[in-house]
Amino acid sequence: MQYLRSLLGLFLIAPDRPDLHVAQLKSVCRQAPLFYGVIALNAALLVYTHAAVAPAHLTYVPMGLLTIGCVVRSLSYHRPSKLEIDARVAYRHLRILNGMVGCLLLLLVLWCFALMGYGDVYTRMHVMFFVAFGIMACVFGLLHVRSAALMAVAIAVPSS
């Protein structure tokens, strides 16, 4: 039971490190827009290769929603980078980030599974490339927040 508790603790933000929370959020504010931009651009390229073989509700609709979400999240990280960050606010932002990374990657993996039934072997390999590149972008973009990076690996690696 103790091992399970310590394993699950790797995926949570520790509440007792306020200075670390502020430093992590400052780092994420610089790197998150790039991470979200890479994900959105890679999704647009995935849609480009699948536009002729997959239905629009599996290509354009998810990409549009993903792009809107990435822009909104990028702008939300632009605002705190200009302000003095309080430790409570940083902790809240990091917890939201943890949840958003899990949801984003889970939805991306489900989208990729839906696209795997369309196209030839090359378009399927592009889907796998998208998953692998998305994992790398997420891990390197969120490297300073260990729990979010580990969550990205835990969700995406078993699916590929």
* pLDDT confidence of residue 64: 93
Report domain extents, the chain: 17-159
From CA 160, how far away is CA 158, in angstroms rounded? 6
- What number of helices (H) and strands (E) belong to the chain? 6, 0
Q: Quick check: 19 pLDDT over 80?
A: yes
CA distances from 106 to 29, 89, 120, 153 (A): 22, 26, 24, 11
Q: What is the pLDDT of residues 57-93, one digit of tens each?
A: 999 999 999 999 989 988 887 766 566 788 888 889 8
Q: What is the pLDDT of residues 119-141, one digit of tens each?
A: 889 998 999 888 888 888 888 88
